[in-house]
Amino acid sequence: MDQVLPFRPFRDSELTLLDRMLNEPEVLGQYAWTGWSGRVNLRQRWEQDRLLSPDLSMVAIVSEDVVVGALSWRQVAYNAVSHCWNVGAFVLPEARGRGVVVPAARALVEYLFAHTQVHRVEGHVEVGNDVARHCAEQAGLVYEGTLRGAAWRGGCWRDVALFAVLRTNLPQQAADG
């Protein structure tokens, strides 16, 4: 991967952005805000592992070295020996509509296939979130079905569309790293 990635680890000075994400509903938006769930100590987690761990990681989406959002990936087990990555993204309200999510998501998928052994990367999109659905599809994830009543938000259970890409779906040069 010779190109400059459109994401990088968060810097200490950027943790206030993550505090905004956790404490200001309009930052995540109507489809991602699930309410306050207690104080998450991002500073402690950042000092411990820089928000990069085998189970859950988060990096900054950058445009000209300015943070405009975040990408995350977490491990999802399918059995005792098989897991995939579940990926997610958010963009700050002031950076939405600039086309930063799709290239960042594509690069993350390629990065995860190049640097881990997983065969599958998946993403969940709440039904009705047409912008996120379009971004998932443009990033190369394929709609696989609807998970009925899978996510609790806003006082009721919501359906979630499942998207995924397999290592074998990538163009050969991306799969080879």
- What pLDDT digit, counting tens, does each position of 18-66 carry? 888 878 888 888 888 787 766 567 778 888 999 999 889 999 999 988 9
Distance CA 163, CA 122 (A): 6
- What pLDDT digit, counting tens, does each position of 64-81 carry? 889 999 999 999 999 999
DSSP 127-139: TT-HHHHHHHHHT
Distance CA 135, CA 157 (A): 23
HEC-encoded secondary structure of 70-120: EEEEEEEECCCCCEEEEEEEEECHHHCCCCCHHHHHHHHHHHHHHHCCCCE
pLDDT at position 119 is 97
**How far from 159 is each of 26, 75, 164, CA to CA, in Å?**
21, 21, 16
Pair 162, 144: CB distance under 8 Å: yes
- What pLDDT digit, counting tens, does each position of 116-158 carry? 999 999 999 999 999 999 999 999 999 999 999 999 998 999 9
Distance CA 56, CA 63 (A): 23
Pair 11, 46: CB distance under 8 Å: no
Q: What is the pTM of this model?
A: 0.89
